[in-house]
Copies of this chain bind each other. A is one copy, B any other.
Amino acid sequence: MSDVKKVVLAYSGGLDTSVIVKWLQETYNCEVVTFTADIGQGEEVEPARTKAQALGVKEIYIEDLREEFVRDYVFPMFRANTIYEGEYLLGTSIARPLIAKRLIEIANETGADAISHGATGKGNDQVRFELGGYALKPGVKVIAPWREWDLTSREKLMAYCEEHKIPVDFSNKKKKSPYSMDANLLHISYEGGILEDPWAEAEDDMWRWSVSPEAAPDTPTYVELTYEKGDIVAIDGEPLKAHEVLEKLNKLGGDNGIGRLDIVENRYVGMKSRGCYETPGGTIMLRAHRAIESLTLDREEAHLKDQLMPKYAEVIYNGYWWSPERRMLQAAIDETQKNVSGVVRMKLYKGNAIVVGRKSDESLFDESIATFEDDAGAYDQKDAEGFIKLNALRLRIAAGKGRKQS
């Protein structure tokens, strides 16, 4: 274990990754570089600096990645209306590739030969961090302490802290959440605790970003989202940067009880797990994006997108953002977004994100053809007969030859 000289750690400033700093220094006898990013998790990142310094870290990276995160990861993903297993908006999955990329870039800058993270050996995040790392720096050494050490219980961790004089934040210790949580601008996730029984209803005080539908206002909020090439660029007419869009929608959604989700999902490592997710802004964006596409996308490209989406979601969920297959799918998706521009009007009310209007200069909706009124010859109903007859031809031939169709 002596071959590692310097390791870049994804450092939250919390207890677990603080222990990891010390453990890496001791176990690998190597220098530790910490990397702490603000991706909208809702906690100050600057305090990580003094904590890292106290642990003897000399190279400390603290960065605000919120805009990059939403612009280059969240938005491209939403162009595909991406949901995993019909429900999950991939809030955790989509943050990992950016962290992995920065870990590697910092490793290259600081001359580190290894990266490390605080994800366990049972989850998806280890996979996402490490696949990203290997894809971007093939010779990198990856250290995953949770797969190596024997600090497998909270008691052992605490004992380690005491032994190594790692300051434990007592207030934190007291009201330690019973859930394993992860947060970024797109969502908060909750796992563990009573959630390990999929029959048990999540407790209302678990949720952090949203009020319950019951507690939401009795009057709806209307909001207009302006799209350009598949991305939201303004809310109620006000131009916003990518992360500002999501921050605003999180606020609007959370206030109206929107975006809570409670599912059992299939992890890439082969087990099912139960998770609760809070994705206020994302839930609004998914609906709204489909609405603007409904006006501006051609039918066949829309259907093809829908057929490719589950694969694209799987690629991201499994941690293959930095892969040729993701780029290939992205090329197809982005090709369709050139005309996905316009405005969607949404009504937000007690958990519901309802599309109530959509308009676009690029609209393919043709009132003169679709109308139930007289269309002035825009569409010749007689064409339908030939259309149907030739579409039926293969079925008619088969039935004529005695094939059973029922």
Contacts and interface: CB of A to CB of B under 8 A. Distances in A.
Interface string A144-162: 1011000011000000000
A304 B290 contact: no
Interface in A187-212: 191-193, 196-202
Contacts of A359: 198-199
A306 B387 contact: no
A271 interface: yes
A193 to B, nearest CB: 8
Interface in A268-306: 269-274, 290-291, 294-295, 297-306
A265 B300 CA distance: 12
A328 B332 contact: yes
B303 A307 contact: no
A213 interface: yes
Contacts of A354: 260, 262, 351
A154 to B, nearest CB: 10
Contacts of A263: 291, 294, 355
A304 B328 contact: yes
A35 to B, nearest CB: 17
Interface in A354-406: 354-359, 362-367, 369-372, 374, 379-401, 403, 405-406
- How many copies the complex holds: the figure is 4
A69 interface: no
A314 B325 CA distance: 16
Contacts of A362: 401, 403
A136 to B, nearest CB: 6
Given A307-B310, A329-B332, A395-B138, A381 B120 contact: yes
Nearest to A273: B370
B300 A323 contact: yes
Contacts of A202: 356
Contacts of A406: 101, 136, 322
A239 to B, nearest CB: 21
A352 B355 contact: no
Contact of A122 (B120, B270, B381): B381
A120 B272 CA distance: 31
Interface stretch (A1-9, A37-45, A127-135): A127-135
Nearest to A343: B199
B371 A196 contact: yes
A386 B310 CA distance: 26
A223 interface: no
Contacts of A75: none
Interface of A: 81, 85-87, 101, 120-122, 126-127, 130-131, 134-139, 142, 144, 146-147, 152-153, 180, 191-193, 196-202, 213-214, 218, 220, 260, 262-266, 269-274, 290-291, 294-295, 297-307, 310-311, 314, 320, 322-325, 327-329, 331-332, 334-336, 339, 345, 347, 349-352, 354-359, 362-367, 369-372, 374, 379-401, 403, 405-406
Which 5 interchain pairs have the tightest Cβ spacing? A386-B386, A121-B381, A270-B393, A266-B299, A383-B386
